C-alpha cells in the first residue's frame, strides 16, 4: 500500500487531504507536517476530521521516505519543497499554483519570481476530466485552483466546440476559500451579512483559466471576478458567453456528450446550489440559453475544499497509483 505524507496539513486543504487519506482504503497516511501548529494533533485542530496524527516539524529524511506526497504550502513556498521531494523520487500532488502555469513568464507576472522554473515542464495540470491519461503517468501533478476547476468544467464543452466568445465568469466563494489565516477579512463580523467582490480586477485564477481554455479551443481573454459569500464551503461560478450559433438542443447535446461518462460531473436542468455538492468531489453544471441576447449562461458548483482542492488531489493520486478514480472520495 503506497505511503503518503501531507506537507502543510495545518491549513484547510492540507487537513482535509489528511482526512481523506486517513480513511482511504489504498493509501497509508504516514505523516503530517505543519508550521505554527507543530506538536498539536490534527484531531485537536480539526475535531470533525478525526485524524489522530501529530503535526510535525518538517524533516525530509523522515517525511520524504514515502511513495507520494500532497503538498499544501502557500504559493511560492511550495516549489522548493516539491523540487526536493521529486529529487528523492516522491510522486507529488501540489495544491499550490507553483506548477500550474506552463509559461513561467505568466507565473512571474501574477505571482513572483519562480523559484524552480526547471520543474514546470514536468508538471501535469491535475484536472482529471481533461488530463486523465497524463495524470496516470505523472510524477508531479499541479492541482488546479478552485475557481479554475469549476470554470473549466463549466466552459470546456463550449471551448472545444469553438463557441467561446466574450467570456465573463462571476465567481462566488465561501470563506474557507480564503484559508485559515485569521484576518480582518475572515473575521466573522466582517463576513456575516455581507458580500463583496475581491481581488478586482486582477484575480490570480484568471491566467490559469485562460491557459486551459486555450488548450481546448482558440485563445480567449476572460473577465473573471470573485466574490466572498457568508458561508463556509462551496463555490459557484456563473459563466456568460456569447454564442449565437448554439441553440438550446445543441447545447444540451454538447454537454451530454462531454460529460456522460464522467463520474464526478452531474448535469442538471435548473441552476445548482453549492449545498448540492457539499463534501463531495462532484461538480454540478446547468447550461441555459438567454434567448434575447444570444448568450449562453452556465452555472457550475463545487465544494472548494473538495473538488476545488483536496478530494481532487486524492482523485489525482488514485489515477497516479492505478487505483479506481473515485476510491476514498465517493
Q: Per the residue annotation, which of 127, 146, 236, 283 is the catalytic one? A: 146
DSSP 310: I
Cis peptide before 201 (omega within 30 of 0): yes
Looking at the Cβ atoms of 3 and 242, the one nearer to a copy of itself is 242
For the four alpha carbons of 222, 159, 141 and 261, in that order, the dihedral sign comes to positive
Smallest distance from the beta carbon of 188 to a copy of itself, in angstroms?
Answer: 4
Q: For residue 191, give the H/E element and its range.
A: helix 188-191
CA distances from 23 to 18, 49, 316 (A): 9, 10, 16
How many angstroms separate the CA atoms of 8 and 266, rounded?
31
Looking at the Cβ atoms of 84 and 170, the one nearer to a copy of itself is 170
Chain residues in the site for a copy of itself (CB under 8 A): 12, 47-48, 166, 168, 170, 172, 174-176, 180, 182-184, 186-198, 200-201, 221-223, 225, 227, 229-234, 236, 238, 240, 242, 270-280, 284, 286, 288-293, 295, 297, 299, 301
Looking at the Cβ atoms of 103 and 279, the one nearer to a copy of itself is 279
Looking at the Cβ atoms of 117 and 294, the one nearer to a copy of itself is 294
Looking at the Cβ atoms of 31 and 175, the one nearer to a copy of itself is 175
- How many Cα neighbours within 13 Å face the side chain of 125? 20
Phi, psi (degrees; rounded to nearest 5) at 194: -140, 160
Cell numbers at 291, concatenated: 434567448
DSSP string, 220-276: --EEEEEEE-SSSS-EEEEEEEE-TT--HHHHHHHHHHHHTT-TTEEE-SS---GGG
How many angstroms separate the CA atoms of 129 and 263, rounded?
9
Looking at the Cβ atoms of 12 and 147, the one nearer to a copy of itself is 12
Smallest distance from the beta carbon of 190 to a copy of itself, in angstroms?
Answer: 8
How many of the other CB atoms lie within 10 Å of CB of 250?
15
Smallest distance from the beta carbon of 192 to a copy of itself, in angstroms?
Answer: 5
Cell numbers at 52, concatenated: 489522530
Smallest distance from the beta carbon of 142 to a copy of itself, in angstroms?
Answer: 23
CA distances from 184 to 99, 110, 181, 187, 188 (A): 30, 24, 10, 5, 9
Looking at the Cβ atoms of 81 and 152, the one nearer to a copy of itself is 152
How many of the other CB atoms lie within 10 Å of CB of 31?
23
Catalytic-residue membership of 239 = no
In 3D space, the residue among 279, 318, 272 whose CA is nearest the CA of residue 297 turns out to be: 272
Catalytic positions, please? 146
Amino acid at each position: 500500500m503506497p505511503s503518503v505524507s501531507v506537507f502543510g496539513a495545518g491549513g484547510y486543504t492540507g487537513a482535509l487531504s489528511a482526512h481523506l487519506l486517513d480513511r482511504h482504503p489504498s493509501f497509508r497516511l504516514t505523516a503530517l507536517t505543519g508550521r505554527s501548529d507543530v506538536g498539536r494533533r490534527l484531531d485537536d485542530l480539526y475535531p470533525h476530521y478525526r485524524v489522530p496524527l501529530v503535526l510535525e516539524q518538517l524533516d525530509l529524511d523522515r517525511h520524504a521516505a514515502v511513495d507520494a506526497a500532497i503538498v499544501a504550502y502557500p504559493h511560492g513556498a511550495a516549489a522548493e519543497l516539491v523540487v526536493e521531494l521529486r529529487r528523492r523520487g516522491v510522486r507529488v500532488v501540489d495544491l499550490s499554483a507553483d506548477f500550474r502555469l506552463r509559461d513561467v513568464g505568466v507565473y512571474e507576472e501574477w505571482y513572483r519570481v519562480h523559484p524552480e522554473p526547471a520543474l514546470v515542464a514536468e508538471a501535469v495540470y491535475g484536472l482529471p476530466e481533461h488530463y486523465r491519461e497524463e495524470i496516470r503517468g505523472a510524477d508531479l501533478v499541479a492541482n488546479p485552483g478552485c475557481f479554475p476547476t469549476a470554470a473549466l468544467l463549466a466552459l470546456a464543452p463550449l471551448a472545444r466546440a469553438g463557441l467561446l466568445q466574450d467570456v465573463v465568469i462571476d465567481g462566488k466563494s465561501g470563506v474557507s476559500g480564503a484559508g485559515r489565516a485569521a484576518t480582518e477579512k475572515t473575521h466573522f463580523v466582517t463576513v456575516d451579512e455581507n458580500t463583496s467582490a475581491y481581488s478586482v480586477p486582477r484575480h490570480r485564477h484568471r491566467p490559469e483559466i485562460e491557459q486551459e481554455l486555450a488548450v481546448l479551443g482558440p485563445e480567449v481573454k476572460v473577465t473573471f471576478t470573485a466574490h466572498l459569500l457568508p458561508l463556509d464551503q462551496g463555490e459557484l461560478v456563473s459563466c456568460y458567453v456569447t454564442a449565437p450559433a448554439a441553440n438550446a438542443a445543441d447545447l444540451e447535446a454538447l454537454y451530454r456528450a462531454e460529460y456522460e461518462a464522467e463520474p464526478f460531473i452531474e448535469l442538471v436542468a435548473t441552476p445548482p446550489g453549492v449545498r448540492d455538492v457539499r463534501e463531495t468531489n462532484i461538480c454540478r453544471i446547468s447550461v441555459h440559453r438567454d434567448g434575447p441576447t444570444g448568450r449562453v449562461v452556465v452555472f457550475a458548483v463545487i465544494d472548494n475544499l473538495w473538488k476545488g482542492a483536496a478530494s481532487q488531489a486524492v482523485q489525482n493520486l488514485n489515477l497516479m497509483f492505478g487505483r479506481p478514480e473515485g476510491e476514498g472520495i465517493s
